[in-house]
Amino acid sequence: MRIDSLKLLALASSMALGLPLMAQQPATGAPAPKHQDTEVYEPVPPIVTPGATVGAPPSDAIVLFDGRNLDEWVSAQDHTPAKWIVADGILTVNKEKGVGNIETKRSFKDYQLHIEWRIPSNIEGSDQARGNSGVFLASTGPGDAGYELQVLDNYNNKTYVNGQAGSIYKQAIPLANPARKPGEWQSYDVVWTAPRFNSDGSLKTPAYVTVFFNGVVVQNHFQVQGQTLYIGKPFYKAYDKAPIKLQAHGDKSEPLSFRNIWVRDLTFDPSYTLK
Ligand code: MG
């Protein structure tokens, strides 16, 4: 009776601690495993010097806007030089008719992106017409919707929740609303894993996205359903690499501004997986 009680006690303790009831034993005759068996020394991760301050570009970043010029950007419509306004180290949407969206000259696959944006302090309007812009994580062509991470004033502005700041437009409600007041700078830090396609154009693996909004996770490895359409259901269309695009939405009040934009190439290196 006492032995049974002790056994029960051991079983209960083991379950409470989450311990396996029996340690895994090597097959009879096999050499005992060593800690070295699961330790690898190559490839050595490249040295990256982090930014001097939080949000500053690390040494391997491609700087897309550092306050000086739009050399890395073109018009999304016709790839002529981008005509947004650069002044005082800030990039501001140009609302002139015909200017429209801008996108990067370079194309990207998997990447880490940092971008800062500011809604003007005297913003007017409501719902989607209040500080609307967007970061298109892949701008796959002039006729495509692309993949939009929404930019909007949602400090005190109600709209459909899958269209507020931090949403993957009309697909993913942000996990929180950490929006700052209009007039204050805000940040997005994004990890984008591009979709992969088979040679016949069918989807092989979907896109995934993780987004920090002002340092708060708002998208956690969300499985993207396709392009972010205004009307209709999302669908995928094959592409390999694509520019990053910023949206000129055309609100009536003062336009938005951006600063400190950089990206790091994250194209997956399979040699990093354990053999
Ligand atoms: Mg938008």
For position 118, which CATH number holds?
2.60.120.560
User: Higher pLDDT residue, 45 or 109?
Assistant: 109
- Flag whether 42 is in a domain: no
The CA 17 to ligand 1 mean position distance, Å, reads 49
- Flag whether 46 is in a domain: no
Do 13 and 104 fall within a single domain?
Answer: no
The CA 33 to ligand 1 mean position distance, Å, reads 55
Q: What is the pLDDT of residue 10?
A: 45
The CA 213 to ligand 1 mean position distance, Å, reads 15
Do 101 and 204 fall within a single domain?
Answer: yes
Cα 243 from Cα 246, distance rounded (Å):
10
The CA 163 to ligand 1 mean position distance, Å, reads 8
Cα 266 from Cα 63, distance rounded (Å):
15
The CA 61 to ligand 1 mean position distance, Å, reads 26
User: Higher pLDDT residue, 252 or 23?
Assistant: 252
Do 101 and 8 fall within a single domain?
Answer: no
- Residue 12 pLDDT class (50, 70, 90 cuts): very low
The CA 138 to ligand 1 mean position distance, Å, reads 14
The CA 150 to ligand 1 mean position distance, Å, reads 5
The CA 196 to ligand 1 mean position distance, Å, reads 25
Do 15 and 140 fall within a single domain?
Answer: no
Q: Could you tell me if 136 and 177 are in contact, meaning their C-beta atoms sit under 8 angstroms apart?
A: no
Q: What is the pLDDT of residue 43?
A: 85
The CA 249 to ligand 1 mean position distance, Å, reads 6
Do 188 and 116 fall within a single domain?
Answer: yes
pLDDT tens for 133-166 read 999 999 998 889 999 999 999 999 999 999 999 9
Q: How many CB atoms lie within 10 A of CB 14?
A: 13
Residue 190 in tokens: 């994004």
Domain count, the chain: 2
Q: Is the pTM of this model over 0.85?
A: yes
Q: What is the pLDDT of residue 23?
A: 52
The CA 256 to ligand 1 mean position distance, Å, reads 11
Q: What is the pLDDT of residue 44?
A: 85
Q: What is the pLDDT of residue 26?
A: 59
Do 12 and 125 fall within a single domain?
Answer: no
Do 19 and 86 fall within a single domain?
Answer: no
Q: Could you tell me if 183 and 120 are in contact, meaning their C-beta atoms sit under 8 angstroms apart?
A: yes
Instruction: Say whether 200 sits in a helix, a strand or coil.
Output: coil
Residue 189 scores a pLDDT above 70: yes
pLDDT tens for 86-136 read 999 999 999 998 899 999 999 999 999 999 999 999 999 999 999 999 999
- Flag whether 195 is in a domain: yes
Residue 8 sits in which domain range?
2-30
Q: What is the pLDDT of residue 254?
A: 83
Do 121 and 167 fall within a single domain?
Answer: yes
The CA 226 to ligand 1 mean position distance, Å, reads 16
Which of 75-79, 251-255, 260-264 shows the lowest per-residue confidence on average (mean pLDDT)? 251-255
The CA 144 to ligand 1 mean position distance, Å, reads 14
- Flag whether 49 is in a domain: no
55 Cβ contact partners less than 8 Å away, ≥ 6 residues apart: 114, 116, 187, 260
What percent of the chain stands above pLDDT 90?
80
Residue 59 scores a pLDDT above 50: yes
Q: Angle at CA 142, nearest 5°, toward 173 and 61? A: 65
- Flag whether 147 is in a domain: yes
Do 12 and 67 fall within a single domain?
Answer: no
Q: What is the pLDDT of residue 263?
A: 98
Do 23 and 117 fall within a single domain?
Answer: no
User: Higher pLDDT residue, 244 or 249?
Assistant: 244
Do 263 and 130 fall within a single domain?
Answer: yes
- Flag whether 241 is in a domain: yes
- Return the closest-CA partner of residue 190 out of 157, 168, 173, 205: 168
- Flag whether 200 is in a domain: yes
- Residue 28 pLDDT class (50, 70, 90 cuts): confident
The CA 101 to ligand 1 mean position distance, Å, reads 11
The CA 100 to ligand 1 mean position distance, Å, reads 13
Do 138 and 6 fall within a single domain?
Answer: no
The CA 151 to ligand 1 mean position distance, Å, reads 6
The CA 10 to ligand 1 mean position distance, Å, reads 59
How high is the mean pLDDT of the chain? Answer: 90
Per-residue pLDDT, averaged over 22-31, amounts to: 70
pLDDT tens for 199-247 read 999 999 999 999 999 999 999 999 999 999 999 999 999 999 999 999 9
Residue 274 scores a pLDDT above 50: no
- Flag whether 198 is in a domain: yes
Q: What is the pLDDT of residue 27?
A: 67
